[in-house]
Structure 1
Amino acid sequence: MTKKTCTPLLVLVLAVCSVIVDQLLKLAVIQFLMPVGSHTLIPNFLSLDYLENRGAAFGIFQNRQWMIAVITGIICIFVVAALFRYKHHDVLSWAACTLILGGGVGNIIDRVLRGYVVDFIHFHFFPYIFNFADICVVIGVALLILHIFFNEQEESKQKPAEKAEEKDG
C-alpha cells in the first residue's frame, strides 16, 4: 500500500474514531446529564447543559433535520472525494478532513436517529451550547482555511521563481 492510498485511509479511520468518541459522549450525556439538565464544572465559566438542538449552528434552520442532514452528507462526500483526488495535501488538510468528516457524521447520526443533535458544552461567555462534533467541525474548517492560506502563499512565492527561471532559460 502506498502513502498515496494509506494516508486517506488513515484519515477515514481517525474520522470514524472521532465519530465513536462523539457518540459515546452523547450517550453519556443522555444517560447522566439529561435527568438533571445541567451540571456546573467551573462556576460562572463552564457547565454541561443538556440541549436537544433541532436546528443547525446557532439555532438556524429549526426543525429542518433532513435538509441539514442531506447538506452535511453532501459536504462529507465532497471531503471524502477530496481525500483521494486533491493533490496538495499537507498535515493541515489531512487534519481538516479528519475533523470535518468526524464531526459531520457524528451530527448526521443524531439528526437521523434522534431527530435532533445532543448539545451539552456551555461556556458562559458564549451564548450557545454545542458538542464534541461541533468542535471537530469548527477546528477542521479553521485548519482548512489555514491550509488554503498557506497553500496560496506558497504558490505566490513559486510564481516569481518560475518567471525568473523562464527569463534565464
Structure 2
Amino acid sequence: MLPGIVIVLALIIDQFTKFKALNLKNNSIDLIGKKIQLVYVENRGAAFGFFQNKKFILLFATIIIILLLVITLIKNYSKFSLLSIISLSLIIGGAIGNLIDRFFRGYVVDFISYTFFNGYEFPVFNFADIFVVSGCILLIIAIIFTKDFEGV
C-alpha cells in the first residue's frame, strides 16, 4: 500500500508541475535572483542530455529498469525496511513520470534551473529527477546501513 501511495504522489506532483511548466515556453521566472529559475526545456535525452534523440533506447531501458525495481520491491517487501521501500518507490515514481513524458511527448519537460555561485549552470531538471535522485541516495543509505539487500 505504501509504495503505491508514494509512487502515485510522485506522479501527481511530477505531472502537475510539468503541466504548469508548459506555460513557461519563451519565458522564465526568477525565484531566487538568477540562482534558481523556472524555465521550459525539452530534454530529448537522458540525464544531463546523454543519449539525445534515442527515444526507443530510453523507453526500453526505462521500462526494463522499472520492471526490475517493481519485481525487487514485490519479492522482498516483507523483509525490506521502510527506508528501502520508500527509496525504491521514489525511484519507480520518478522513472514512470519521465517515461510518461518520453512516451507521449517524445521528450521530457524540464523546468528547474540552478546556477552555482561560481556561475556553473546545472542541467535543468524536474521533480521526477528529484524523486529518482532522492530515492537513489536513500537506497545507498539503505544498502550501507541495513541488511535488506543481502542476497537480493
- Under a length normalisation based on structure 2, what TM-score does the superposition of the two structures give? 0.88
In the other structure, the counterpart of 2:131 is: 136
Amino acid at match of 1:25: T
CA RMSD between the two structures: 1.5
In the other structure, the counterpart of 2:29 is: 39
In the other structure, the counterpart of 1:119 is: 110
1:97 to 61, 78, 88: 88
In the other structure, the counterpart of 1:29 is: 21
In 1, Cα distance between the equivalents of 2:49 and 2:80?
33
Deviation at 1:88, TM superposition (A): 3.4
In 2, Cα distance between the equivalents of 1:77 and 1:117?
20
Deviation at 1:108, TM superposition (A): 0.2
Q: Among the aligned pairs, what percent are the same residue?
A: 44
In 2, Cα distance between the equivalents of 1:25 and 1:102?
14
Count of residues in correspondence between the two structures: 143
Structure 2 unaligned regions, length at least 5: none
Report the more deviating stretch, 94-103 or 110-119.
Answer: 94-103
In the other structure, the counterpart of 2:51 is: 61
In 2, Cα distance between the equivalents of 1:62 and 1:102?
23
Moved over 6 A (4+): none
Q: Does 1:73 align with 2:63?
A: yes
SS of residue in 1 equivalent to 2:101: helix
Larger radius of gyration: 1
Q: Does 1:19 align with 2:11?
A: yes
Structure with the bigger percentage of strand: 2
Structure 1 unaligned regions, length at least 5: 1-8, 156-169
Partner deviation per Cα, 1:140-165 (whole Å, 9 max, x = no partner):
0111111001125xx8xxxxxxxxxx
Deviation at 1:20, TM superposition (A): 1.6
Partner deviation per Cα, 1:102-158 (whole Å, 9 max, x = no partner):
100000000000000000001111421000000000000111111001125xx8xxx
**Residues 72 and 104, structure 1, Cα contact 8 Å, conserved in 2:** yes
- Under a length normalisation based on structure 1, what TM-score does the superposition of the two structures give? 0.80
Amino acid at match of 2:13: V
**Residues 66 and 111, structure 1, Cα contact 8 Å, conserved in 2:** no
Amino acid at match of 2:67: I
In the other structure, the counterpart of 1:159 is: none
Structure with the bigger percentage of helix: 1
Partner deviation per Cα, 1:64-122 (whole Å, 9 max, x = no partner):
12211211111111111111212531121111111101100000000000000000001
